């Protein structure tokens, strides 16, 4: 508030005294240039986005065309220049075509909320981490998630998101697991599509990323991924295929890594053959930040937009067009894709406009999504929900649960209101790769739900002291966290900071111990048999503590199910250790790499995905490895019964069954449908092919119908370069977890 008043006053005096100053005063220039008025025949909204784009292109000069192909530096880092001055100071800005009234594209990271908005004096809502939303398996919630992000982006003056992460959890130690939507391509793809739709409903350019196989952060700028094309299409790429076909994102962000030899952002197979030809993607490809490595090669492969700078896509690009090494038609095609996507997303017809968001409504969306995503992993003797009148004392232990809950780091980081909850006042501004805690206090949420109970806190720093407090309480709730961030991987799935010892000590001291985990990735649990209850709360977002409180005390019945398998041990992973880059190939930020070396591309090191399409549960199933908690698993305070399966073949196989709530509480059950393909398909034992989240009152019974997209029953035939159904018997399995599928029927498909 104070900020904008100051800025307004500054504008006025600048206006009164020196017009020329206007162009260097950020706030004034921003207002002046923010919404150029489109003029010309392309304002005709009855024309298609493609027709409108072509009308603009007809009027554009070569320099104007080149200008839309690149960013103008990171407005966050660089001193503002004349070019990025109209931006909102996000991470990227493309200038548009001011002469023709085509606005710039103003980009912000927004994985689980709008990044870096604290500096704008308007904190954005931190939704629960994307993986938490995935744990809700709730397509409507995914839409709301995206819609909220779109609305807050727009209100802050942005017209493009850099969210939409969907790389599947092939490597659970990946430091960005929290930004993605789990290990199953059909679950992740379906959810990201809805998220994108929600964002684009707010006239914001949607994005899906990081295309493709950015499954580990270690050496992400140099790693070369090898995998068979069939396995690629049936695993990681399937998530993108569904996201693109169903979500219609205007943009795809290509990733840093190499795939089958070429960098993703100059990889013709990925960008042209698969994305643009096979999936018919009409939008534009934007490079990850610094992920462009060439001019002619990248352009021919299908990259439209270099971000955040212009090393390859400005002077070098113009020279190539003039020399004829980049054909005019190729340039026009790239410009067309950018402009038609702007028209399609509505950023030209609905210019970005700052507004005020309703922070309370944001908190409510965040809370509800978290409530739907919390997973109850263990609940011996109905320890949960807690009943306050039976409890004289509750011990709350560990993970700064007196003041906050952890969030995921890197470019996804959302600013916590008032700064990092665990830092002294005024010292909490988020830094790159620092643990950031949101001011949502589990201790307060617990006390609010048990007002007459004595609630005591112990930091957990000394397991013996924590155990002593636990021993004196009726119930001990011990919090543990695993922080992760972009730009690094977890060295292990073991909880850091001696938290395994803390949990073991507390659980040994009190048989009524509840463990709450805040993590983005699975964690190992050597103590799993000891506590009475275990809850996975993920990175819980702005109102996480209230969501958790509602689940712990039963005003919300947990319904989330794991979107990632929790393995027993890292030794069971397809890659027991993460392949590390040779020392020179470090992440740009940390290494002695010159800009020239960087631009050229760091020397590759190899990671072979020999496990192929066997990602997550498909791997453990095929290898017959028992797990700690399986994919699709999650308990409830009620019980469900599955019966009466019928499977009807047709254009879409129809699966019908009856689901009954056999307990005494209302709840929502995620009913999962899997298929085992004919043996000749040579596939893992089963794959998820559909699901339905069904709300049921106590004792209620519903008929559930799930239709299966034929592609989800198919294999990718490399010879035909197409999806193909293998004729034979398909076993359809239905139930509440990948390891517990009581209904089974066989259908013959041709």
The nearer residue to ligand BGC, 124 or 411, going by C-beta atoms, is: 411
Q: Which residues from 212-231 bind ligand BGC, rule CB under 6 A?
A: none
Residue 267 C-beta: closest distance to ligand BGC, Å: 17
Shortest approach of ligand BGC to residue 76 CB, angstroms? 9
Burial class of residue 245, CB neighbours in 10 A (0-12, 13-18, 19+): middle
Q: Which is nearer to ligand BGC, 209 or 233 (CB)?
A: 209
Residue 91 makes contact with ligand BGC by CB under 6 A: yes
From 169, 224, 287, 411, residue interacting with ligand BGC (rule: CB under 6 A): 411
Task: Assess contact for 724 and 714: CB atoms under 8 A.
Answer: yes
When the beta carbons of 162 and 602 are compared against ligand BGC, the nearer one is 162
Residue with tokens 């007809």: 58
Question: Closest CB to ligand BGC among 234 and 288?
Answer: 288
Site string for ligand BGC, 117-156 (x = CB under 6 A): ----------------------------------------
Two tokens at 397? 């232990």
Spatial CA neighbour of 687 closest among 741, 608, 634, 650: 741
Q: Is 729 designated active site?
A: no
Residue 403's SS3 state is: coil
In this structure, how many other beta carbons lie within 10 angstroms of the beta carbon of residue 248?
Answer: 19
- Smallest gap from Cβ 308 to ligand BGC, in A, equals 7
Q: What is the 3-state secondary structure (H, E, C) of 684-707?
A: CCCEEEEEEEEEECCCCEEEEEEE
Distance of CA 366 to the CA centre of its chain: 15
CA distance 677 to 631: 19
Q: Of the listed 109, 288, 402, 458, which one is catalytic?
A: 288
Q: Which is nearer to ligand BGC, 309 or 385 (CB)?
A: 309
Q: Tell the smallest beta-carbon distance from residue 288 to ligand BGC (Å).
A: 5
CB nearer to ligand BGC: give 211 or 566: 211
List the one residue out of 461, 278, 418, 438 whose CA is nearest residue 367: 438
Residue 221 Cβ vs ligand BGC, minimum distance, rounded to whole Å:
10
- Scanning 159-206, the segments in alpha helix (DSSP H) are 185-200
Interface with ligand BGC (CB under 6 A), residue total 7
Contact 312, 599 (CB under 8 A): yes
Cis peptide bond N-terminal to 462, omega within 30: no
Shortest distance, position 412 Cβ to ligand BGC, whole Å: 7
Which residues in 438-497 contact ligand BGC (CB under 6 A)?
none
Nearest to 218 by CA among 608, 596, 585: 585
Kindly list the distances between the CA atom of residue 274 and the CA atoms of 267, 280, 620, in Å, as whole numbers in the listed order. Answer: 10, 8, 29
Binding mask 196-215 for ligand BGC (x = CB under 6 A): -------------x------
What residues numbered 256-295 form the site for ligand BGC, per CB under 6 A?
288-289
Nearer to ligand BGC, 240 or 730 (CB): 240
**Is 346 or 409 the residue whose CB approaches ligand BGC more closely?**
409
Rg (CA), the chain: 26
Residue from 162, 436, 506, 552 touching ligand BGC (CB under 6 A): that is 162
**Closest distance of CB 382 from ligand BGC, Å:** 43
DSSP state, 584? G
627-686 residues near ligand BGC, rule: CB under 6 A: none
Instruction: Return phi, psi of residue 737, to 5°.
Output: -165, 155
**Beta-bridge partners for 655:** 647, 706
| Residue 109 vs 197, nearer CB to ligand BGC | 109
Instruction: Identify whether the C-beta of residue 618 lies closer than 8 Å to the C-beta of residue 611.
Output: no
Map residues 165-194 to x or -, x wherever contact with ligand BGC holds by CB under 6 A: ------------------------------
Q: How far is the CB of 172 from ligand BGC (least distance, A)?
A: 19
Task: Tell me the three-class secondary structure of 301-319, residue by residue.
Answer: HCCCEECCCCCCCCHHHHH
Cβ pair 394, 477 in contact under 8 A: yes
Classify residue 687 as exposed, middle or buried by CB count within 10 Å of its CB (0-12, 13-18, 19+): buried
Q: Which two tokens stand for residue 484?
A: 């992760």
Shortest separation between residue 532's beta carbon and ligand BGC, angstroms: 40
Task: Please report, as ranges, the residues that interact with ligand BGC according to CB under 6 A.
Answer: 91, 109, 162, 209, 288-289, 411
What amino acid positions are annotated as catalytic residues? 288
């Amino acid at each position: 508030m104070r900020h904008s008043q100051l800025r307004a006053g500054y504008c006025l005096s600048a206006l009164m005294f020196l017009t020329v100053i206007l162009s260097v005063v950020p706030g004034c220039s921003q207002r002046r240039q923010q919404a150029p008025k489109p003029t010309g025949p392309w304002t005709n909204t009855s024309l298609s986005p493609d027709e409108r784009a072509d009308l603009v292109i007809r009027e554009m000069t070569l320099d104007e065309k080149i200008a839309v192909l690149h960013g103008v530096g990171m407005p966050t880092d660089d001193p503002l220049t004349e070019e990025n001055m109209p931006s909102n100071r996000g991470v990227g800005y493309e200038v548009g075509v001011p002469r023709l009234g085509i606005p710039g594209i103003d980009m912000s990271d927004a994985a689980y909320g709008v990044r870096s908005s604290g500096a704008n004096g308007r904190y954005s809502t931190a939704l629960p981490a994307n993986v938490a939303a995935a744990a809700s398996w709730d397509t409507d919630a995914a839409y709301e998630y995206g819609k909220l992000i779109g609305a807050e982006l727009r209100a802050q003056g942005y017209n493009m998101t850099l969210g939409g992460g969907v790389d599947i959890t092939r490597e659970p130690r990946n430091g960005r697991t929290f930004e993605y939507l789990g290990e199953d391509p059909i679950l992740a793809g379906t959810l990201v599509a809805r998220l994108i739709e929600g964002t684009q409903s707010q006239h914001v350019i949607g994005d899906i990323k990081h295309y493709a196989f950015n499954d580990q952060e270690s050496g992400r700028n140099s790693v070369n991924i090898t995998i068979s094309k069939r396995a690629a299409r049936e695993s990681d790429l399937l998530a993108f295929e569904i996201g693109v076909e169903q979500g219609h994102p205007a943009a795809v962000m290509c990733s840093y890594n190499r795939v089958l030899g070429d960098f993703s952002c100059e990889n013709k197979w990925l960008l042209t053959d698969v994305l643009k030809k096979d999936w018919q993607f009409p939008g534009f490809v934007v490079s990850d930040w610094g992920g462009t490595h060439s001019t002619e090669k990248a352009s021919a492969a299908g990259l439209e937009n270099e971000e955040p700078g212009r090393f390859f896509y400005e002077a070098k690009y113009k020279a190539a067009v003039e020399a004829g090494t980049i054909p005019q038609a190729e340039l026009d095609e790239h410009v067309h894709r950018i402009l038609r996507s702007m028209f399609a997303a509505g950023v030209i017809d609905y210019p970005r406009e700052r507004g005020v968001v309703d922070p309370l409504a944001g908190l409510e969306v965040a809370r509800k999504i978290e409530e739907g995503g919390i997973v109850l992993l263990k609940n011996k003797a109905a320890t949960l929900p807690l009943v306050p009148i039976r409890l004289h004392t509750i011990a709350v232990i560990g993970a700064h649960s007196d003041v906050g809950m952890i969030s995921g780091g890197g470019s996804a980081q959302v600013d916590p209101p008032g700064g990092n909850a665990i830092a002294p006042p005024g010292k909490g501004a988020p830094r790159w790769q620092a643990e950031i805690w949101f001011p949502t206090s589990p201790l307060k949420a617990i006390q609010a739900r048990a007002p007459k109970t004595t609630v005591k806190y112990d930091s957990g720093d000394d397991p013996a002291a924590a155990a002593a407090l636990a021993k004196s309480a009726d119930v001990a709730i011990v919090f543990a966290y695993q922080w992760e961030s972009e730009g690094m991987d977890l060295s292990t799935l073991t909880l850091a900071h001696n938290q395994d010892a803390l949990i073991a000590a507390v659980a040994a001291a009190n048989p009524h111990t509840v463990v709450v985990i805040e993590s983005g990735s699975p964690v190992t649990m050597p103590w799993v048999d000891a506590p009475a209850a275990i809850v996975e709360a993920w990175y819980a977002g702005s109102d996480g503590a209230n969501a958790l409180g509602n689940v712990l005390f039963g005003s919300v019945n947990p319904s989330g199910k794991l979107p990632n398998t929790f393995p027993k041990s890292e030794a069971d992973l397809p890659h027991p250790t993460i392949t590390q880059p040779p020392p020179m190939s470090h992440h740009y930020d940390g290494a002695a790499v010159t800009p020239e070396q960087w631009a050229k591309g760091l020397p590759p090191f190899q990671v072979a995905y020999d496990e192929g399409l066997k990602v997550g549960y498909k791997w453990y199933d095929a290898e017959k490895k028992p797990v700690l908690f399986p994919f699709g698993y999650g308990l409830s305070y009620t019980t469900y019964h599955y019966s009466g399966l019928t499977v009807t073949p047709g254009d879409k196989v129809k699966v019908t069954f009856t689901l009954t709530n056999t307990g005494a509480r209302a709840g929502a059950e995620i009913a999962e449908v899997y298929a085992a393909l004919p043996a000749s398909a040579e596939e893992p034992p089963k794959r998820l092919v559909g699901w339905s989240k069904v709300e049921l009152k106590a004792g209620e019974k519903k008929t559930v119908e799930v239709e299966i997209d034929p592609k989800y029953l198919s294999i990718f035939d490399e010879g035909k370069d197409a999806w193909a159904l293998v004729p034979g018997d398909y076993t359809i399995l239905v139930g509440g977890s990948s390891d517990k599928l009581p209904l089974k029927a066989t259908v013959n498909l041709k």
